[in-house]
Amino acid sequence: MNYNHHSDIDLIYCIKDGDKKAFDAFFIRYYAALCAYSKQFVRLEDGQDIVQDIMANLWINRKRLFIPDSPRSYIFQSVKNKCLTFLSREELKEKLEMTIHEKMGYLYDSPDLYIVEELTGKIEEALKRLPESYRTAFELNRFRNMTYKEIADELSISSKTIDYRIQQALKLLRKDLKEYLPLLILVEIL
């Protein structure tokens, strides 16, 4: 069957039913455009990895797939969100490296990259364990430096809800990362 003339929604329904050729057609239809789009945010190589991850997750989670009105908009928004999350992680690593070097360099002959990698990994794991709404609000505030009002406007919810979500995220992160708290306070994440 030739899927080139199928609508995106038809392809998504076929993918949901496990049709590998429909997935291949959807992948081919959007891969290059998504990679080009991701270059607005990240390097090409990172963008390619991000697009491949999103497409792989689309196939892996096909049975639970939500079918949006516009699969094209949905997949482009997914790439944007994943790119911004990637940037947040990179900024977190840089911030940790710089802070450890500036504020704790006296403890080491040279900043210990292992500490940065370990701490970054622990923070990423802790962030993944947060409820998605808490994590989104926290990351937008801490890593994209958005105000509560800006986040509320972007997510179409109240500033008080954003305040609550960030406070709850902080509470959970402090509990989860208690052995790293002195370092996290230095880098002003918690």
User: Could you report the per-residue pLDDT of 120-153, keeping only the tens digit for each?
Assistant: 788 888 888 999 899 889 888 887 778 999 999 8
User: What are the structural domains, with CATH classification, of the chain?
Assistant: 8-80 (1.10.1740.10), 112-186 (1.10.10.10)
Give residue 116's pLDDT.
67
In this prediction, residue 115 has a pLDDT band, given cuts at 50, 70 and 90, of low
Contacts of 116 (CB under 8 A, 6+ apart): 93, 96, 97, 100
87 or 48: which carries more pLDDT confidence?
48
What would the mean pLDDT of 23-41 be, rounded to a whole number? 94
Task: Look over the chain and give the mean of its residue pLDDT values, rounded to a whole number.
Answer: 84
pLDDT above 70 as % of the chain: 83
Work out the pLDDT band at 4, boundaries 50, 70, 90: confident
Q: Which string of DSSP letters, residue by residue, matches 104-142?
A: HGGGSSS--HHHHHHHHHHHHHHHHHS-HHHHHHHHHHH
pLDDT band at 17 (very low <50, low <70, confident <90, very high): very high
Q: Cα–Cα distance between 133 and 174 in angstroms, integer?
A: 17
Q: What is the per-residue pLDDT for 23?
A: 95
Q: What pLDDT does 64 receive?
A: 87
